[in-house]
Amino acid sequence: MTPTFTLADGTPLPAVGLGTVKAHGEDMTATVGSALDAGYRLIDTALRYETEGGVGDAVRASSVSRDDILVTTKIPGRHHGYDEAKESVRLSLANLGLEQIDLLLIHWPLPKVDKYVDTWRSMIDMQKDGLVKSIGVSNFTEAHLDRIAQETGVLPVVNQVELHPYFPQADLRAYHAEHGIVTESWSPLGRGSELLKLAPIADAAAAHDVSAGQVVLRWHHQLGAVPLPKSSNPDRQRQNLDIFGFELTDAEVSAISSLERGRIWDQDPDTYEEF
């Protein structure tokens, strides 16, 4: 069984989840189905990915109990605002074919649009109404988190952010730890880039007789973050979940963190917009 973190609202969150940004032509129902068979219990989707249908089909078809699966989805920029957020959830529930969203996130803060506080208020109310179990955010900076805390008194239980060896996010992780927010890592493998071939990662893989991908995902775990690797390949899915049988040394963790050079895609949450 995959270990879990406990969210501030008491919900257990699996320590690794499956990302579902779709490769061209991919059958997401098959991808999520094989992941559930492999032991994944946390599935990350978004209205914007257009993969909610495949995720929901796989969850409903699976022999794994619905209660044991945690489905995350996200409110896109086009649905920021109090009423718009409710419409977003109505669409997501219909796409997923599920009664409740387990973890709902604001996908990006879009500070220039300046509606993320209203969106957050709507999510607080939807949680009270039982449409949504846990509420969190994605791509929020410390300033965005401070603002929703000040204006609503409610902190997110999760902040899902870009995090990989090129961008370890030490300051934001420290803020999260101080405020009881669990860090989720998006693009945890740097999208399977040349990053996986770099010396500190390849050396640790050889030392522990595991793959480079497993080393990077274990590095996330030892930083206290929950990686959401995407793979449609059943062998890599199993490998990406199998990171709890070895431990990186402090020196290996530091060497991997020292690869830091910044965001890969130049998506600064203060300025980046997508709808």
Ligand X SMILES: O=C(O)C(=O)[C@@H](O)[C@H](O)C(=O)CO
Lay out the site mask for ligand NDP across 95-124 (x = CB under 6 A, - = otherwise): ------------x-----------------
Q: Which range touches ligand NDP (CB under 6 A), out of 89-97, 145-153, 167-175, 225-233? A: 225-233
Verify binding: residue 21, ligand X, rule CB under 6 A. Answer: yes
Q: How far apart are CA 156 and CA 158, in angstroms?
A: 5
* Residue that is written with structure tokens 């997110």 in the block: 156
Verify binding: residue 78, ligand NDP, rule CB under 6 A. Answer: no
Q: Give just the sign of the alpha carbon dihedral 1, 186, 82, 10.
A: positive
* Residue that is written with structure tokens 């068979």 in the block: 37
Q: Are 103 and 134 in contact (CB under 8 A)?
A: yes
Pick from 79, 115, 173, 230: which binds ligand NDP (CB under 6 A)? 230
Quote the least distance from Cβ 191 to ligand X, whole Å.
9
Q: DSSP of 255-272, one letter per residue?
A: HHHTT----SS---TTT-
What three-state secondary structure class fits 51?
coil
Tell me the HSE value of 119 on the side-chain side, using a 13 A CA sphere.
32
Q: What residues numbered 34-63 form the site for ligand X, per CB under 6 A?
A: 46
Site of interaction with ligand X (CB under 6 A): 21, 46, 265, 267, 274
Site of interaction with ligand NDP (CB under 6 A): 19-21, 44, 107, 138-139, 160, 186-192, 196, 211, 213, 228-233, 236, 239-240
